[in-house]
Amino acid sequence: MLEQARLTLPKCDGLPAISTIGGFLATKPKTATEWKKMNDNISTELVINPELRAIKTILMRSYDGLPYHLKAAFLYLSIFPEDHIIRWGRLVRRWIAEGYSRDMHGMSAIELCRRYFDELMDRSIILPGEEIDQYSRKNNSFQLHDMIREICISKAREENLVFTLEEGCCLSETQGAIRHLVIGSNWKRDKDVLESMLDLSHVRSLTVFGEWRSFFISDNMRFLRVLDLEDTLEL
């Protein structure tokens, strides 16, 4: 039972992270319920628990140590909502359309995407899903760990890379032109906000979750490359 409830943590810089987590868990009752509770609330614990704040610092260093091409590919994943299962086919089409991958040095764009994908998987930055290709035996789906996603969103916001319209979002956080716009399923669909309060002149991708509205497409989106409506509901 404990084995099933073990914490799923991304790889970090080895012993400091392991010893910090181990020391914290040693003070907790060794029950499946307690471990599951810890796993479900790990992001909150990282903020409020001084014993675990060091983990976030270590994870941030792990991000800083990524090569440039993997940083860009990783930050792009902040487009997807929490606990979302992301299909490999969906991601590779988007990466290629956005120019993150292209044919080069005898390697196809798809093969290069798979290399990026496998590198992120090997570093435990993305977690494997249940969908496996029956021929290659490779993972065809994945998701982000909550801690890693928190860092992903924070860094993407710093670079003004991704902005998500959702309940409680702060429009003042946008600093200039948005490159990737996400419309969340719980956003109230306010046409005036979209048309008058956001700079859409450099939007390269639009991803919609939930109900679709025709006004989501604007004449100002002159550089739009990707329109992703896979998780859209029609009225």
pLDDT tens-digit map of 10-32: 454 443 444 445 555 555 565 66
pLDDT reading at 230 higher than 70 = yes
Model pLDDT, residue 142: 87
Q: Could you tell me the two tokens for 172?
A: 């003042």
pTM (predicted TM-score)? 0.74
Give the helix ranges, DSSP H, for the chain.
15-26, 32-40, 42-48, 53-64, 68-75, 88-98, 109-122, 146-158, 191-196
Tell me the average pLDDT across 132-149.
72
Percentage of residues in the chain having pLDDT higher than 70: 70
Domains of the chain: 15-64 (no CATH), 66-155 (1.10.10.10), 160-235 (no CATH)
User: Do the Cβ atoms of 21 and 69 come closer than 8 Å?
Assistant: no
Higher pLDDT, 82 or 41: 82
Separation CA 222–CA 58 (nearest Å): 40
- Nearest to 146, CA basis, from 51, 81, 58, 87: 81
What Rg, from alpha-carbon coordinates, does the chain have?
19
pLDDT tens, residue by residue, 70-89 = 898 999 999 999 889 999 88
Tell me the average pLDDT across 171-190.
84
User: Do the Cβ atoms of 152 and 77 come closer than 8 Å?
Assistant: yes
Q: DSSP letters of 2-51? A: TTTT-------SSHHHHHHHHHHHHTS---HHHHHHHHHTHHHHHHH-TT
